[in-house]
Structure 1
């Protein structure tokens, strides 16, 4: 993910105030962002200019960073920005006054101004930037309660999907990673954990599994969707044979075979009962004859 995103700028020029540049920038919570200070290449040395970075605030604006006589001056910088606002030293010599703001907090959202003044005629050049700090949910991670990719004994199987660091409660859906369709079957339970301004979510789905599946979890927010890596669960041949459907077929076949054998044995016994019994003459009677 990029550290910041700019929207198209607007340039407004005034006879008394010089040119005003307006930008929009998005930065990630606890990450870094570069605030643009867009001016034409100044004529003269850097020592001829004074640059102020300010954040709009009530009752008075906050000083974010300053450059006086070509050098970074932190004497007037507000305490909340100390150690977090930095210029590119090499860029300063070329008139690049872009400011990098690090370790962003939600309170850093707001309007910033870069004001460049020439010491001789006080002709200001102003760049305004609207900064929005966002807290995006992390890429969700899918796993099963037994931490194994083999189907556990029984018909039901529990999967969990965990994502952290969002600001608003998201919608969580489970999809078939093969065709992208939402998984409609099963029971779904969602747990929510609030830590300060941030939200962590865990979704648990309970499914009846009879064959191999490939599943993903999707975190749906107004700023876009975040999808987990596909999670594949394979069912072994032994488990497939022991599935309820396979077991039922085996019982039916076994019952048919048993009935057939019973019928054959009964008929065989009936045929034998019609044959005359064999008779053997005793030895003593044979001698008499």
Structure 2
């Protein structure tokens, strides 16, 4: 009886050890499996299932919630991955070719034995645009005459629109991170080489420039400042002059149009004014003639006295105005005589 119990215990321990060994092997395989990939556009990537393939009843790959490949089923015909996916039927590894930026994301491998699901394997893929041009380096410096030293302010920028890039400066045997660098040096240090490197996970590009600390540095900086100020003045001055010219032209045009309208108005009024004046003169002449004629009919002597004046005869007596008048015989009472 004791022997049977001993054999049973040995079998149980052996089975437990094998099970633990198998689980540990699975964990080692899963832990050693690559879970993060950084690739550039156009590359090819292969995702490992990271689990044993024996006895697997079902297996599938997903990108987020989108199923893109499944065991014993043709790979997805999704337009994003058309003719770019390959599922290995033996180990269930997934290969994606001709990568694009849209392929970035979280890929999950789901599998199981019958109704028992195994742990889900999640893999991260980041597809990057490669850097193909050198970065641009700009600088500004200040000369300190008191101790004959310089302060350099440099900036490095990537020429292409690429996200998630890092910047590194190298000066001699020193390295600094960041897109800008402020560096202090003395005149006696001579030429200094500044190297800027811009990089991402799949590529990098560098550019270098040599600077020397001298009192010409401040002069050059002042010249650059004056040049920038002059450019700014031109950019502001010329548009202002153009606007003023337009305003003056518009005012001159308005004045010209107003004076032209006034002249035309006067020309239109002149004939009617002359005609009115002529009519008034004709009416006045007619009234004057009528008054004279009326005076003649009523025997008004004052008019004729004015016309003949007071004339003396040779005998020294004053003639009778009525007798000396040319119109004397016109009196109706004297026309018949004694």
Q: Give the TM interval when normalised to the shorter protein.
A: 0.3 to 0.5
Q: Which has the higher strand share?
A: 1
TM-score (norm 2): 0.35
Q: Which has the higher helix share?
A: 2
